[in-house]
Amino acid sequence: MKISGKQNKIAAVCIGLLVVGLAAAAVWFLWLKDWMGALGASPVYVNRVSAIVGLDAGTENRYSGVAEPQKTYSVEKDDARTVTQIYVTEGQYVYPGDVLFHYDTEEMDLSISQAELDLDGLENQLNTLRSQLADLEKEKKDASDDDQYAYTVEIQSVELQIRSAENDQARKQAELDKLWENRNNADVYSEVEGTVKQVNKNGESDRYGNPLPFISILSSGEIRIKGTVSELNLSSVTEGMPVNVISRIDPTVTWQGLVDTVELEPAADDGMNGVVYYGVDSGEGSSKYNFYVTLDSTDGLILGQHVYIEPMNEGQRHTGLWLPGVYMVREGTEYVVWAKSDSDKLEKRHVTVGEYDAAEDLYQITGGLTRMDSIAYPGEDLKVGAPTTDDAALASQQEEAPGYSVEPGEPGLDDGFSLAEPDPDLGDVPPEDDWTEGSDGDWTDDAAGADFFLPEAGGGVVG
């Protein structure tokens, strides 16, 4: 029989449709198999990234702090002198050589005049004593032997008066020199560049009675962090301890540094309003102590910025987000992690990486994952779309409970978790502490909110 060209075309089209149909069926079968497997999978335990990398505070203490200059310069005034003019105010920016305040010069002019008069009087007294001494020595030469002793005693007395007058003259000259020095330095100048923090016009003291400096200047040099800790937690802050410094405005912005100084004298109440505490440190009603942090870098930090200070966990000396390598899965040239999706299902998520720390097996995550995400430990049994849980006990219970199985429900409905035939020998009974029996005989997981159905006598699943 001869087959026409038209029949050949029809046969080719049929074969093509058959191939496409078989391919579609295979794809549908494989997808349905994975989908059914995901629905029937036990909840996968996921953990917050911040907890994995040690950025959660947990029971660690968190302290409030403020960025300030490395040094605060105190300018004291001479209490024996009178300040007549103050040229700066709090918050004013000053430079070296700027006049801060001025002493009264009229009072010093009077003191100088009096000191000069005293010196003139001492000089006249000395001249008289020296002349008297010369006369006594001359008369002694011509005196009789009986009068020699009397002259000797009188001469020694005059010599003693001369030495005393010379000492008075030296002290008075030093006093005059100091007066002239003060007179020539009636203006007090700033020696540093910075911001005037405080002007203590009225001689105020801190709450412990210690006098405050007349003028305090915050230098404009390197920035450090000043924190405060209560006496209850003072022992938890030690010099050389690594810490994280976290921006209050944007918690993703952090700096790292070391505690370089811990003050052992109670801090004055300088307006920081104490400390924000988490964990075991309450700090209420106890003395506060200042400590200072030197930062590895101050990029992006501004003077006066308020921050949080947290002790740094071991292996956390990195800037940004660094994830342990055991959570990374390499697919060709790319990296993925098993992450919880917005619908609380398991998904493969691509992440971008930067540097790699081979010593600690840490990858720098530059995109695709944040510290607020949750991820699972990789395993061959993980399936895309599987349910997730952050309750480790629930995940363990689903994996280990004997005699129970999880079966998928109808598409579009809650996952129909069902119980297989209980085995009395294994003690399989619904765990009443974690499940609630409804009026219809269904058992509901208190944690997951999913219904579990007891089997019929024949062993089939009701539902």
Antiparallel, parallel or unpaired: β 346-357 and 435-437? unpaired
The residue written with tokens 């995550």 in the block is 365
Q: Is 447 helix (H, G, I), strand (E, B) or coil?
A: coil
Between the two ends of the chain, the Cα-to-Cα distance in Å is: 59
Residue 37 to residues 28, 30, 291, 407, Cα–Cα distance (Å): 14, 10, 56, 9
Confidence at residue 22, expressed as pLDDT on a 0 to 100 scale: 67
Measured CA angle at 303 (ends 302, 306), to 5 deg: 80
Going 321 to 326 to 330 to 333, the CA torsion angle's sign is: positive
Rounded Cα distance between 295 and 302, Å, is: 13
Confidence at residue 210, expressed as pLDDT on a 0 to 100 scale: 83
The residue written with tokens 């994830």 in the block is 323
- Tell me which residues of the chain have a pLDDT lower than 50: 31-32, 35-36, 57-59, 270-283, 315, 400-433, 447-463
Confidence at residue 258, expressed as pLDDT on a 0 to 100 scale: 93
Rounded Cα distance between 310 and 64, Å, is: 9
Rounded Cα distance between 175 and 318, Å, is: 61
Query: How does 240-274 read in b/e, with b if 16+ C-beta sit within 10 Å?
Result: ebbbbbbbeeeeeebbbbebeebeeeebeeeebee
Confidence at residue 61, expressed as pLDDT on a 0 to 100 scale: 72
Residue 435 in contact with residue 446, Cβ under 8 Å?
Answer: yes
Strand partners, 103: 83
Confidence at residue 78, expressed as pLDDT on a 0 to 100 scale: 85
Burial of 419 (0-12, 13-18, 19+ CB in 10 A): buried
Count of CA atoms in the C-beta half-sphere (13 A) of 392: 5
Rounded Cα distance between 234 and 222, Å, is: 26
Confidence at residue 372, expressed as pLDDT on a 0 to 100 scale: 87
Q: Rounded to two decimals, what is the model's pTM? A: 0.37
Q: Token digits for 206?
A: 């801190």
Burial of 291 (0-12, 13-18, 19+ CB in 10 A): buried
Q: Token digits for 335?
A: 């990296």
Rounded Cα distance between 293 and 271, Å, is: 19
